[in-house]
């Protein structure tokens, strides 16, 4: 027993020294190395182009993916709180990396025999999204930590969080919290319930395994985990916790019907020829059309009824 205790003591002392040395190197390099952060400085999420009807209401859009950019001051607190609880409890206190998280990660790696396991702060996740691919290695993890520290020195927590919440992927071709809220519930961010905010945050761990569309049961379990943390950190009361955990997911069906598809296709062809695909799908253009939605719907209804009678 004494030999085991001595071994464990030596092991943990050695581990502490190695981690301390590693952090020393990371912080030293962070204060002496300059890295190009233009992907963050010049962040451009690529906004969809919107087509308006004759009343100025959107009826179609062109986009490579479903994405809308919203500034942090337009996001309700419950969104920010939910993501903090789901992904990084100490976000507003650390300098880009979490020492405790890394220690837990190293111990988990040793115990489970896995590589590059967990411990990523929100800042590290943003670094990964903007600068690296999905391949997990120890070297990439070290670079990720270095970049995170450097980013925290140059940008505010609010700037980091804003880009992160607009950049994260929710599956189903959806990027950013605003587009996700509209796809899942047909709502603006300001209209979301606490449960819905927690559902969005819960997807970050795995858009595949926690999708409220394709994996609703797993989504609810993960959502309730996030809600428990929101209660633990005193963001919500016990009554709010119970109400939120009892709330149905309430995901809306995706409307596949496109009004006046022939007109949308004609507009697409003309604008691609005039401006190119890049500007059309990412330039955030506003296109005014002469379409009258009510008249178009009436015409399509008459046509559909006529076809049925044949």
Length of the chain: 310
* pLDDT at residue 24 tops 70: no
Q: What rounded mean pLDDT belongs to the chain?
A: 82
CA dihedral sign of residues 234, 160, 155, 100: positive
Question: Residue 124's pLDDT is what?
Answer: 92
* pLDDT at residue 72 tops 60: yes
* pLDDT at residue 199 tops 90: yes
The predicted model gives 9-33 an average pLDDT of 55
Tokens (6 digits) for 220: 């609810």
For the chain, residues classed under CATH 1.10.3810.10 are 65-246
- Torsions phi, psi for 172 (to 5 deg): 60, 30
Question: Residue 30's pLDDT is what?
Answer: 47
Q: How far apart are CA 1 and CA 4, in angstroms?
A: 5
Q: What is the pLDDT of residues 94-124, one digit of tens each?
A: 988 877 766 665 565 555 555 545 568 999 9
Strand pairing class (174-175; 49-52): unpaired
Q: How far apart are CA 122 and CA 88, in angstroms?
A: 6
Q: What is the pLDDT of residues 200-239, one digit of tens each?
A: 999 999 998 999 998 999 999 999 999 999 999 999 999 9
Question: Residue 18's pLDDT is what?
Answer: 60
Q: How far apart are CA 60 and CA 63, in angstroms?
A: 10
Minimum mean pLDDT among 19-28, 42-51, 58-67, 129-138: which range? 19-28
Strand pairing class (286-288; 66-67): unpaired
End-to-end CA distance of the chain: 89
Q: Quick count: other Cβ atoms within 10 Å of Cβ 265?
A: 12
The 58-62 sheet, strands edge to edge: 58-62, 49-52, 286-288
Residue 204 gets the label, from left (phi > 0), alpha (psi -120 to 50) or beta, of alpha
The predicted model gives 278-297 an average pLDDT of 87
The rounded percent of the chain whose pLDDT value lies above 70 is: 75
Q: What's the pTM value of the predicted model, to 2 decimals? A: 0.70
Cα–Cα–Cα angle for 165, 168, 173, rounded to 5 degrees: 130
The model's confidence at residue 16, banded by pLDDT at 50, 70 and 90, is low
Is the Cβ–Cβ distance between 259 and 294 less than 8 Å?
no
Most confident of 40-44, 138-142, 210-214: 210-214
**What is the rounded (10 degree) CA torsion for 95, 101, 103, 106?**
-120
Query: Is CATH 1.10.3810.10 correct for 65-246?
Result: yes
* pLDDT at residue 133 tops 60: yes
The predicted model gives 75-84 an average pLDDT of 98
Is the Cβ–Cβ distance between 50 and 286 less than 8 Å?
yes
């Amino acid at each position: 027993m004494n030999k085991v205790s001595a071994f464990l003591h030596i092991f943990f002392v050695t581990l502490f020294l190695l981690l301390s040395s590693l952090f020393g190197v990371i912080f030293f390099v962070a204060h002496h190395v300059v890295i190009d952060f233009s992907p963050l400085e010049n962040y451009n999420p690529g906004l969809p182009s919107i087509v308006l009807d004759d009343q100025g209401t959107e009826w179609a859009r062109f986009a490579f993916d479903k994405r809308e950019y919203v500034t942090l001051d337009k996001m309700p607190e419950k969104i920010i709180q939910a993501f903090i609880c789901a992904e990084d409890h100490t976000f507003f206190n650390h300098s880009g990396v979490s020492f405790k998280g890394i220690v837990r990660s190293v111990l988990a790696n040793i115990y489970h025999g896995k590589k590059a396991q967990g411990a990523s702060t929100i800042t590290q996740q943003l670094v990964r999204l903007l600068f690296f691919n999905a391949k997990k290695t120890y070297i990439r993890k070290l670079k990720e930590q270095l970049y995170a520290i450097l980013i925290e020195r140059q940008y505010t927590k609010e700037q980091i969080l804003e880009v992160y919440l607009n950049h994260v992927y929710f599956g189903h071709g959806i990027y950013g919290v605003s587009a996700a809220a509209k796809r899942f519930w047909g709502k603006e961010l300001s209209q979301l319930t606490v449960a819905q905010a927690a559902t969005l945050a819960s997807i970050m761990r795995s858009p595949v395994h926690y999708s409220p569309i394709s994996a609703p049961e797993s989504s609810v379990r993960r959502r309730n985990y996030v809600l428990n943390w929101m209660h633990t950190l005193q963001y919500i009361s016990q009554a709010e916790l119970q109400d939120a955990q009892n709330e149905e997911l309430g995901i809306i069906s995706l409307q596949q019907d496109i009004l006046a598809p022939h007109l949308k296709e004609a507009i697409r062809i003309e604008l691609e020829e005039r401006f190119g695909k890049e500007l059309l799908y990412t330039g955030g253009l506003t296109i005014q059309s002469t379409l009258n939605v009510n008249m178009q719907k009436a015409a399509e209804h008459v046509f559909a009824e006529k076809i049925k009678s044949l």
